[in-house]
């Protein structure tokens, strides 16, 4: 079965927050943030929601593919920052774009979410259950960030990316993946939801924000992601020389450099956009893919490795020939 990416789209909030502006919010400098993370600015919502950004990106992916929303069979939104616990973002997107025949649900695997959602679509396609899907990664992380914590607020951005994919049984198999979770290390990157608040148990409600152990995450990402890409390539029987680009989760530039060194692959094979969008969790891979296709870096016929890693801890990689 051939997984065909026929259209991509992305949506970013209109407002940009630069490192220079952050200097007046927390004790930091543009130089420090650039040197440690490669990030110069990020888009931050002043009203855009996960649902509105996801809808915008989905419409663009469908337009790029020349497909009608009415024919879409499956919508999965990967997100860890929805506005509403109920209904899910995917159902809001379904209503907004008019995909009345689609089944729609959300998936939360943090920064691996888009990749896991794509793997889910591939698995449905392989079983013959569905033959097309819109897969979206969308986040408004700025509302779950502690803007007094300089260790985290410098890293994240808001945005959404989407792909329209179809199964083609006439063409050879072009997709392989590996995916993992390690819940025993989960508490190194957390964000609380709501406190227990019922007639039998009341406690003072507290605002909850993203908390992380930056060094642990750094080491996990560099070690585990390179090992999982090596494992994937062996499983798929693809040599590194045949990989055109590694489209990785954009956590920060130093993690990507570390992975390229471990894989002994030239950094030029790792497109990045973290400099102007920051870390957008599940939106990072589809937004980078969309940008790389639009600017002519990624083209039909090329072989890509996609890799996501983040809270959970979750991680995985897939190889696809476009
Ligand atoms: N500006 C200036 N100084 C800062 C800042 C800041 N924004 N943040 C921390 N510092 C200070 C610290 O207080 C510390 O000062 P001290 O030595 O006086 O105590 C010093 O800089 C070094 O701090 P470290 O936390 O050790 O800095 P480190 O080199 O580890 O860089 C960073 C921190 C950038 C967060 C790094 O650990 C990292 O990239 N981790 C990965 C985290 C990540 O990408 N998370 C994203 C979510 S998960 C994911 O997407 C996979």
Using DSSP, state whether 235 is helix, strand or coil.
Answer: helix
User: Ligand 1 mean position to 233 CA, how many Å?
Assistant: 32
Catalytic residue among 108, 119, 228, 249: 249
User: CB within 8 A of 95, min separation 6: which ones?
Assistant: none
In the residue annotation, 276 being an active-site residue is answered as no
Cα 157 to Cα 272: distance, rounded to the nearest angstrom: 14
Task: Check residue 82 and give its pLDDT.
Answer: 97
- Between CA 264 and CA 271, with CA 268 as vertex, the angle to 5 degrees is 110
The full DSSP string for 91-144 is HHHHHHHT-TT-EEEEE--GGGHHHHHHHHHHHHHHHTS-SEEEEEEEE-GGGS
212 three-class SS: strand
Check if 237 is active-site: no
Q: How far is Cα of residue 301 from the mean position of the Cα atoms in its chain?
A: 23
Q: Cα(149) to centroid of ligand 1, in Å?
A: 11
Asked if 111 is an active-site residue, the reply is yes
- Ligand 1 atom 2: residue of nearest CA: 28
Alpha-carbon span 29 to 63, nearest angstrom: 41
pLDDT at 193: 87
Question: Looking at ligand 1, which atom is closest to the CA of residue 215?
Answer: 37
Q: How many CB atoms lie within 10 A of CB 144?
A: 18
Check whether the bond before 313 is cis (ω within 30° of 0): yes
**Taking the chain, what is the end-to-end CA distance rounded to the nearest angstrom?**
13
Q: In angstroms, rounded to a whole number, what is the distance separating the alpha carbons of residues 231 and 241?
A: 15
Which two structure tokens, joined as six digits, stand for 87? Answer: 């209904």
Counting ligand 1 atoms within 8 A of each CB, the residue from 151, 284, 310 with the most, and so the one to mutate, is: 151
Q: State pTM to two decimals.
A: 0.95
Please tell me the residue having the least CA distance from ligand 1 atom 25: 214
Mutation to probe ligand 1, out of 18, 78, 214 (largest number of atoms < 8 A from CB): 214
Q: What distance in Å separates the CA atoms of residue 13 and residue 158, rounded to the nearest whole number?
A: 7
Residue 241 is given by DSSP the state G
- Tallying the residues shown for the chain, one arrives at 322
Q: pLDDT value at position 290?
A: 98
Q: At what angle do helices 50-65 and 89-97 cross, to 10 degrees?
A: 50
Q: How far is Cα of residue 182 from the mean position of the Cα atoms in its chain?
A: 18
Whether 203 and 223 have beta carbons less than 8 Å apart is answered as no
In the prediction, which pLDDT does 83 show?
95
The predicted structure's pLDDT at residue 138? 98
Q: Print pLDDT tens along the chain (322 aa).
A: 999 999 999 999 999 999 999 999 999 999 999 999 999 999 999 999 999 999 999 999 999 999 999 999 999 999 999 999 999 999 999 999 999 999 999 999 999 999 999 999 999 999 999 999 999 999 999 999 999 999 999 999 999 999 999 999 999 999 999 999 999 999 999 999 888 888 888 777 777 899 999 999 999 999 999 999 999 999 999 999 999 999 999 999 999 999 999 999 999 999 999 999 999 999 999 999 999 999 999 999 999 999 999 999 999 999 999 9
Which residues' Cβ are closer than 6 Å to ligand 1? 28, 32-33, 36-37, 111, 150-151, 154-155, 189, 212, 214-215, 217-218, 221, 251-252, 279, 309-310
Q: Is 177 exposed, middle or buried (0-12, 13-18, 19+ CB in 10 A)?
A: buried
């Amino acid at each position: 079965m051939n997984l065909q990416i026929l259209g991509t789209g992305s949506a970013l909030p209109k407002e940009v927050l630069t490192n220079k502006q952050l200097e007046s919010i927390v004790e930091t400098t543009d130089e420090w943030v650039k040197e440690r993370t490669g990030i110069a600015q990020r888009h931050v919502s002043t009203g855009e929601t996960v649902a509105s950004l996801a809808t915008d990106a989905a419409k663009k992916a469908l337009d790029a593919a020349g497909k009608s929303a009415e024919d879409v069979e499956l919508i999965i939104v990967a997100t860890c920052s929805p506005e509403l616990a109920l209904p899910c973002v995917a159902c809001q997107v379904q209503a907004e774009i008019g995909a009345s025949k689609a089944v729609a649900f959300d998936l939360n695997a943090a920064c691996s979410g888009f990749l896991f959602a794509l793997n889910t679509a591939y698995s449905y396609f392989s079983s013959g259950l569905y033959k097309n899907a819109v897969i979206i990664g969308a986040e408004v992380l700025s509302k779950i960030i502690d803007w007094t914590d300089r260790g985290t607020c410098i890293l994240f951005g808001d945005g959404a990316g989407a792909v329209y994919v179809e199964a083609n049984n006439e063409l050879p198999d072009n997709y392989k993946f590996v995916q993992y979770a390690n819940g025993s290390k989960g508490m190194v990157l957390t964000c609380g939801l709501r406190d227990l608040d019922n007639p039998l148990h009341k406690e003072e409600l507290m605002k909850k924000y993203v908390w992380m152990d930056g060094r642990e995450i750094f080491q996990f990402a560099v070690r585990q992601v390179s090992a999982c890409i090596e494992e994937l390539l062996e499983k798929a029987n693809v040599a590194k020389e045949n990989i055109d680009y590694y489209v990785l989760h954009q956590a920060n530039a130093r993690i990507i450099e570390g992975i390229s060194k471990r894989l002994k692959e030239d950094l030029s094979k790792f497109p990045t956009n973290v400099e102007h969008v920051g870390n957008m969790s599940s939106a990072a891979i589809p937004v980078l893919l969309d940008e790389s296709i639009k600017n002519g870096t990624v083209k039909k016929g090329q072989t890509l490795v996609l890799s996501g890693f983040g809270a959970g801890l979750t991680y995985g990689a897939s190889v696809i020939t476009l």
